[in-house]
Each structure stands twice: as structure tokens, then as C-alpha cells.
Structure 1
Amino acid sequence: MFNQKLYVVAFATILTAACGSDSSSSDPQPMAPDLSQGLFVDAKVTGLKYDTATQSGFTDEGGYFNYIAGEDVTFSIGGIRFPTVAAKELLTPLDLFNTDNIDDIEVLNTIRLLQSLDDDGDLSNGIQIPEVVHQLASTISIDFNDPNFIDELSELIELSGVMNTGFVSLAEAKAHFLDTLAQYDITPAQNCGSDHPMVGYSGTFTTFSHDVAGTATIVDNCTIEVTNFSYDGGGPDVYFYGAIDHAYAGADAFSIGTQLTGTVFNDDTVVLNLPSSKSLDDLNTLSVWCVDFSVDFGSLRFEASQ
């Protein structure tokens, strides 16, 4: 006798299996996107926190971080966050601020901070940022264009236990970064002309206080090189200042480069880029100027070489 109930169950089982078979063959599983590695350098930086949409961690001993093509990456030290940029195979502080100007104030502040936080103070073996630095900086946020950047973060370096007890000098930080860029065949752009009649002019600082000394030479239309520069780091809110005929307290005077407060220079070389809104027509004298008290620590007049 035909068992209708048994037939229905058997047919349903076959139909279900067939449907399952068709589904697995027609709907392939999605493939995971490929993981890429990027390298962050001002020397190879180890222990720098990074975050992308899918990846997070700390740069490894080679300075590498993980990302998926098309993602952005944000680097940070505790609460100190660097600008978010498109992740790629090689990133430097120039990329973070979308510039090729090594004298950009944000770039200079970044390289000084990274180098100063190196655990053993030996940049030849890379930059190692210890975990304690992230903990100490957990509540810190700062603008890399802040004129008080060095003062604001000096305590972090003092408390971190790294080899440096203060910020590395501007000249040292820049020289090291230039060497690193050269290793990767990166040459900062030189966009200044040399047709201004003051190109080649120079002057020697007259010392008034804080051991200011050195010689400044106008290299091109927007660059001044200060050689054998010395300054004891004293005085609040100190900058190089340009002016006409030593009128540094006047409305037309202007700061050039990063803040000098707290940084000791000893026969160092400092490269100054004029602000984009200024030209060599706006100065014929240069001072190490204390803004808070309107005091000239040492100044010079640019004159044609003999």
C-alpha cells in the first residue's frame, strides 16, 4: 500500500538538500581585503599608536603599521593626536601636515617631540617611544602650531624617564630629519628664488644678554641661515624677530621660525624661513627678541659682504 506520508517527508528532504546545494554553489563567501604595511619614519619610530578604520596598535620595531588600502590613519602619543592622513607605504612628518617644507613650524615641532621622547637618546638605532609616555600624555592635547608648544610639553619629557631631560635642539632635530629623508630619496622642495638684492647679505650678532652670538646670512629670497648660533635658553617667549632698523617692538616687526624659549644653542646652525606673508623687503635687521618684556637679547644688521 502506498504510504503517502512517507513519500511527502522523503520528497521534502530531497528538496531541502537540493536547495542547500544550489545556495552554496551560487553564493561564494566574500574574501577578506588584503592587509598592507606602512612605514613611519623620523628615523624608524617604534611605539607610536596608530588607528585606522579596521586596524589599531603600535608601530613595531621596524616602524611599521598595518592598514587596508584606501584607509586613513591617525597616529598619537597618549592624547596628543597627529593629523589624520591617507595611509600609504611610507609616511613622514611632512605627510602629516601636507607640506614639503621642512621648516614648517608644525613639522619642526613634531620632529623635536619624537626625537626628544626616544627612550635611549640614540637616534642612530631609531626612535623608541616607551609605554609610560602614552600614559603620561593620556590627558594632553595640543595644537602643533601653538607658539608655546615647547613649554607646554617640556614637563612630559622631564617626567617620562627617557634619556633626554628636555627638547633636543632645533638644529639637531632638523639635521637628523634631513638625513632620514635623504635615506629614502626624499628632497624637501626649494621654492625660493634668489633674485632679491639682499641675497648674500650677512651680519654678526651684537650680544646684549643670554649669551646670544652667531652670524646670519640671507641664503635666498625666503631663507636665512644662522651659523655658530649660541643662546642660553633663558627668557620667556623668545623668537628670532625681523624688523626695519631694529624696530622690533613696532607693528611691522614679525617673528621668524619656532619659539626659542628653553632651548639651549651652542654653536648650532638654525635655518629660518620667512613667513609666507613677508619678504626681504620687510627687514634689514634681526634680533633674538623677548616678546613678553620687549627686550633685545642680541641683534644684527644685514649688510653686503665685503
Structure 2
Amino acid sequence: MLKVISTGCIISLSLMACGGGSDSSTADTSQPAIQPSPVTYTGTFIDSPVQGLNYKTETQSGVTNANGEFIYQLNEKVTFSIGDIEFLETPVASVITPLTIFSTQYTNNTEVVNMLRLLQTLDVDGDAANGITLNDNIHALAANLTVDFASADFDSQVQQLVLDNNAVNISLISAAQAVMHFETTLGGSTGNEQSACGSDHPSVGFTGSFNTLAHDVTGDAEIIDNCTIAITNFNYDATAPAVYFYADNTDTSSIESFTLGDELRKDSVPYNNATIIVKLPNNHSLDDINTFSVWCVDFSVSFGDLIFTAP
């Protein structure tokens, strides 16, 4: 995303300013660091997609829509709730499930199972296969109600809520039924497939390879569909802070630059021929991308950049 200037100068700045190297030169901080424009991403809460969950992050709040979608910014945490029944706070992600909430991979985890049972039981039409929709008044019904998803008497804690909900189910469904549905969901659609983005933009299929400037950055990138970029064979020494994939619609960095994906790790465990998939944030399209770089935010230095071109 930088205009072509001395590669040696860029490497000197990046090594000194963003971790690594012993160059004795001093970074030029006369210009303010270019920070990413605030952008939002769309995540999905999945048992089936759940409509009607309250959610709150540091910057966003609302109710999940018919696709189970919620809005977030990078590096936030999100809390879902039904009335005063708050789910555990969890780091944001493109897809969140009860497994995510309870940090487990086991669908027979007691807390996971009870959350699945509650969500599927509260579904208005009682058919979780077509999505889970919570009644409009569910949050009022669950006001002043807290539950322990790990409790042996979980059923009795939510019994009155289920009755008051006035949906098809008047008692909690069985654990076996809830888990079977959830595992079917996990084995099929998550509502976040690349095909949902479409692939009719003329830039789909464009590719590029990083021009190495510092920190051993190499790799290739391809525009997979209207909102997805795949980075393959990616190498980076992971020794610098505040490094992101950046995009811009010019051939230089600007205040219109925006991030794609999470901050790259900074634990000095290098990326070796890694594959990373990033999604365009909300309110951005492929029209906003000309250059793509590995960017050190604090000192406005590119470690490697490319321009997408037709194959």
C-alpha cells in the first residue's frame, strides 16, 4: 500500500519500529500513524441460526436477525442473552455456537446440552430444522431470571419460562433430541458459506504475490468471491506488534485504509506456508480494494504488499 520508495528505507524503518533487527536508525514519526478506519463485521450465532437473541459488544448491541447474525468490530468480546439470562462472554468470531460459549469441543458437555435444549425448546414453531426464532416478548419473560446451565436442577430453573413462552413446546426437549439436531447442523450448513457472498464481481479470481519488504513476509492472495480473500503460502516471522492485513483502493496508504481479519500474532512463532481466509468487513466491497498489504499500524510501515491482477 506504499508508493514505490527505497526498499532499504522501508526495511530499516520496519525493523526498528515494529520489532526485530538491530538497525541503529530512528523511525520517522513526524507523520501520524495511519490507523484503520472503524469497520464492522457480521457474525452468526448457530444452533440453527437463532433469531431474537440480545447481543452486546464493546461498541455494538442489538438483536440477532433471521439469519442469526450480529455485528461486531475486531478484537471485541460479545455477550448474548435472553432477558437476564446472560451467556458467558466470548471473543467475537464469524460463527459462534454453544461450543464456543463454553470453550469445549464436546457436544455432550452438560452446559452445551442445556443451552441447546433451551434454545430449541423456545423456538416459536418447535421445528429447529428451519431455524430458531424466539418470541418477541421472550426478553420481558426472562427479566430478573438467571440460570446455571451446569446445574442438576436446570430443568426446574427454566420450567416457568418455557410455559410462559406460549410456543409449541411446553416442556424442555430431551438432551438426545437437542444434540442430534445440533450435530446435524454442524455437519451441514452454518449459514456462513463463501457462496452466500456471490461471485459476480469482475475482480473475483484476481491474484497477487506479496512484494517482500521486511519480517520475511511472502505469500500469495486470491479473491475467492465477492467478500472473501484467501492468503496461501503465507510466511511472516510474527515478531512485531499491531500487524494486520490492510486494504485500500489506491496505490498508497490513506485514511480510507481498512483491516481484514484479526491482528496477526506477535508471539515470535512464525507463520510457515500458512493459509488464512479473511472476509471483507461490512460496508466495504471489492471496489474498495486495489492494494493489499501486511501493515504495522503503530508506525505506518508495510512488511509486504501486492496489487491484485487478472489471472
The TM-score, its normalising length taken from structure 2, stands at: 0.49
Answering whether residue 132 of structure 2 is matched by residue 127 of structure 1, we say yes
Match of 2:40 among 35, 39, 43: 35
> Given residue 70 of structure 2, which amino acid in structure 1 is its aligned partner?
F
User: In 2, distance between residues paired with 1:79 and 1:110?
Assistant: 15
Match of 2:65 among 47, 60, 83: 60
Aligned to 2:83: 78
State the Cα deviation string for residues 38-74 of structure 1 (Å, max 9, x = none): 0110001000110000000000111100000100000
User: In 2, distance between residues paired with 1:104 and 1:28?
Assistant: 46
**Aligned partner of residue 175 in structure 1, secondary structure:** helix
Match of 1:100 among 102, 105, 113: 105
Instruction: Map residues 126-275 of structure 1 onto 2, 5 A cutoff.
Output: 126-184=131-189
User: In 1, distance between residues paired with 2:88 and 2:34?
Assistant: 36
Show structure 2 runs of 5+ residues with no match.
1-30, 191-311
**Aligned partner of residue 44 in structure 2, secondary structure:** strand
**Aligned partner of residue 137 in structure 2, secondary structure:** helix
Aligned to 1:278: none
Aligned to 1:266: none
Answering whether residue 53 of structure 2 is matched by residue 48 of structure 1, we say yes
User: In 2, distance between residues paired with 1:30 and 1:173?
Assistant: 45
CA RMSD of the aligned region, Å? 1.8
State the Cα deviation string for residues 107-166 of structure 1 (Å, max 9, x = none): 000000000000111112100011211101011011111111111101101011111111
CA spacing shift, 1:27–1:102, aligned 2, 3 Å = closer
User: In 2, distance between residues paired with 1:184 and 1:95?
Assistant: 17
Number of residue pairs matched?
Answer: 160
Aligned to 2:10: none
8 A contact 2:46–2:68 mirrored in 1? yes
User: In 2, distance between residues paired with 1:75 and 1:85?
Assistant: 9
User: In 2, distance between residues paired with 1:124 and 1:140?
Assistant: 27
Show structure 1 runs of 5+ residues with no match.
1-25, 186-306
Q: Which has the higher contact order (CA 8 A, sep 6+)?
A: 2
User: In 2, distance between residues paired with 1:102 and 1:143?
Assistant: 18
